[in-house]
Structure 1
Amino acid sequence: MDQWIDLAANLIIIVGLVFMALGVLGIYRFSDYFSRILVTSKVDTVGFITIMTGLIIKHGFEFFSGKILLILTLYMVTNPIATHAITRSAHISGYRIKKER
């Protein structure tokens, strides 16, 4: 049974890594700053949650998992706030989306 749990945890971790890798490609696909920061924040958050969930499953529910859950909670609070602050400062400083013709 432990082999199946390890396999499932490894697959979840791999899905998170693939999601983040595809997100990096998405960063190059978009042309303006605001689209890139949106993709970066979403991919970063979802990929991190997926990888940490895989680690929790892999190591079982013990003290280590509690620490990961604490880190995950702090990350889920601070990452959107940091992304918002960076994007807001770009908007306030006058950075605008260039219109394509």
Structure 2
Amino acid sequence: MSQWITLAGNIIIIIGLVFMTLGVLGIYRFNDYFSRILITSKVDTVGFLTIMVGFIIKHGLDFFSGKIVLIVALYMITNPIATHAITRSAHISGYRIKKER
């Protein structure tokens, strides 16, 4: 049974890594800064959460998993705030989207 749980955890971690890799490659499809930072924050958040859930499943419910849950909770609070602050500072400083014809 332990081998199946470890395998499931590894598969979820690999899914998170593949999602992050495809997301990084997908960033180049967008032309402007604001679209790129939006997709970067989404890929970063979902990939990180998937990898951390894989670690929790792999190690079981113990003190280590509690620390990971705390890290995930802090990450869920700070990542959107940091992305918003970076985007807002770009907007306030006068960075504008170039209109394509």
Normalising by structure 1, report the TM-score: 0.98
Cα deviation digits, residues 12-59 of structure 1 (max 9, x gap): 000000000011101111110000000100000000000000000000
Q: What does residue range 30-49 of structure 1 map to in structure 2 within 5 Å?
A: 30-49=30-49
Which residue number in structure 2 is paired with residue 97 of structure 1? 97
Instruction: Compute the displacement of 1:3 (Å).
Output: 1.1
The equivalences for 1:1-101 within 5 A come to 1-101=1-101
How many angstroms apart in 2 are the aligned matches of 1:29 and 1:3?
A: 40
Unaligned runs of 5+ in 1: none
Where 1:29 maps in the other structure, the secondary structure is coil
Q: In the aligned structure 2, how far is the partner of 1:20 from the partner of 1:40? A: 9
Moved over 6 A (4+): none
- RMSD over aligned CA atoms reads 0.5
5+ residue gaps, structure 2, are: none
Question: Percent identity over the alignment?
Answer: 83
Q: State TM-score, norm by structure 2.
A: 0.98
Following TM superposition, by how much is the alpha carbon of 1:62 offset from its aligned partner in structure 2, in angstroms? Answer: 0.2
